[in-house]
Amino acid sequence: MVEPVTAPINDFFQPRGIAIVGASATPGSPNNQILQFARQMSTTGQVYPVNPTKTEIAGLICYPSLLAIPQPVDLVVLAVGPQNSLSVAREIKKRREEKGDAGAVAVVTAGFKEMGTAAGEELQNELITTIKMSGARIIGPNCQGVADTVSGVNTTFSVPPNTPRGGVTILSQSGAFATSFLRWARDQKLVGVNKFVSLGNMADVDFRELLTYMADDVNTKVISMYLEGINDARGMFEIASEVTKKKPIVAIKAGRTSMGTNVAQSHTASIAGNNDIYEGAFRQAGIIRAQSVAEFYHTSRVFDKMPLPKGNRICILTVVGGPSTICVDELVATGEVTLAHLKDELKEEIAGHLAASANIGSPDGYIDMTASVTPKMHADVLKLLMNEDEIDGIIFMTTPPGFIKDEELAAAILEGYHSVPADKQKPLLSVMLAGNAVAQCRTILEENGLPTFEFPDDAARVMVNMVRYSAYRQRNS
């Protein structure tokens, strides 16, 4: 007997065709949304609905079975009920044996091992075994599958086709968590996505293979992972330790308490494991572990937009006192970051652009411009700081005064940042302490690649994470 050829992971992201088994003609239903998103995002138009009760859906020919599609189909979205999934699995096996395609399967259907019943586990095992017998690979079940903004693949009902493109690849055991990230970031263009993978129960393809694939994916600049439990934790961390030598991995791990572990198990049938062991493994592998959702979101997107700092010397540029104190506390509490030393010549140059009441260098590395500022002052001071080699990163904080328009402030910050060539650029994180009152300024900056924040402690934690990862890369280069 000839051993089946195992399909490559690439079939999920660059398929010749996508079959949606269980496609619905009912607007507003999940299975109709999957079809609509797949069709709208496709760059090739090779999307095939499968439903034995329909001959056409949304203007597309609808096929009675997977076997009836004459064109090549590398990616199959299995979206029928759990009890009907086994018959589809047998069709996948047969098609792969006869035509050699159907190598990637996204099982979006739920009702398997995550139910916590013997019947659910048995059904999942039979489904996975049947599909894998032909060499096909499975993401899921109980997932949303994949989206790729570059190749135009979308098997989800929640990643809109107009999702901004960027360098963040999201690997998540929770589809809802990953899509909440995208929805949070959408209005102010806070993040751009390369790939999105919702793993669900992770019965076959897991973090290990996806990390290996993303390590060499030129469009992935940072990998963002939401984890509940891992089948082979040692293997995953060994792979991650190689990936982090090339690009950052940001992770948030659920199930730190016994109660959280129980919730994780009921969600995706995952065993969360000992939190202390995970904490040490994350650090050893060079993975940045976020302790909050906000830290995860912000760290992921800033790694995509900003260069790494060359060292740990950070300058605080501000027009607000109290929030700056909070920022400094958060920065230096870790012991990994220090405030940058400002040379006397630099302080004199800065003083030449600011009001006499400005605080320049007390404490060292701290500049309070006061409220007597103009857009030109912002640009001039930022130019000096960007050009100073003894400063590795800048956190700028403001409650923008009403006499400076959003677009004027944004233009000044961009002018200051881009005053030096790319090889001299350093991370600049701008904190706008005015909520929606400065939405236009934030959007302009974000669209031009400069990350913004609403709260100073969030910006400080992200800067610490960048310094920490940069130091790791330098040690392991």
Q: What is the DSSP string of 315-334?
A: EEEES-SHHHHHHHHHHHTT
Is there a contact between 254 and 272 (Cβ–Cβ < 8 Å)?
yes
**Confidence (pLDDT) at 108:** 97
User: Looking at the structure, do residues 441 and 318 belong to the same domain, yes or no?
Assistant: yes
Q: What is the CATH number of the domain that holds 379?
A: 3.40.50.261
Cβ density class 97-113: b for 16+ within 10 Å, e for less:
eeeebbbbbbbbbbbbb
* Residue-level length of the chain: 477
* Half-sphere exposure (Cβ direction) of 401: Cα atoms closer than 13 Å: 13
- Phi-psi category of 140—alpha, beta or left, where left has phi over 0 and alpha has psi -120 to 50? left
User: Looking at the structure, do residues 345 and 440 belong to the same domain, yes or no?
Assistant: yes
Give pTM, 2 decimals. 0.93
**CB-based contacts of 417: which residues, under 8 Å, 6+ apart?**
382, 386, 425, 428, 450
Does 154 reside within a domain?
A: no
User: Looking at the structure, do residues 123 and 49 belong to the same domain, yes or no?
Assistant: yes
Does 224 reside within a domain?
A: yes
SS3 223: strand
**Confidence (pLDDT) at 275:** 74
Per-residue tokens: 400: 């923008």
Per-residue tokens: 166: 């960027």
User: Looking at the structure, do residues 211 and 318 belong to the same domain, yes or no?
Assistant: no
User: Looking at the structure, do residues 287 and 327 belong to the same domain, yes or no?
Assistant: no
Boundary (domain end) residue, out of 116, 148, 180: 148
Does 156 reside within a domain?
A: no
Q: Please identify every stretch of the chain with a pLDDT value under 50, giving residue numbers as ranges.
A: 259-272
Number of structural domains found in the chain: 3
Does 4 reside within a domain?
A: no
**Confidence (pLDDT) at 262:** 47
User: Looking at the structure, do residues 328 and 432 belong to the same domain, yes or no?
Assistant: yes
**Confidence (pLDDT) at 263:** 46
Per-residue tokens: 261: 């572990």
SS3 170: strand
User: Looking at the structure, do residues 299 and 317 belong to the same domain, yes or no?
Assistant: no
User: Looking at the structure, do residues 167 and 27 belong to the same domain, yes or no?
Assistant: no
- Find the domain containing 119 and state its range: 9-148
Boundary (domain end) residue, out of 148, 172, 190: 148
User: Looking at the structure, do residues 108 and 239 belong to the same domain, yes or no?
Assistant: no
Boundary (domain end) residue, out of 148, 176, 197: 148
CA distances from 121 to 90, 126, 128, 267 (A): 18, 9, 11, 14
Does 41 reside within a domain?
A: yes
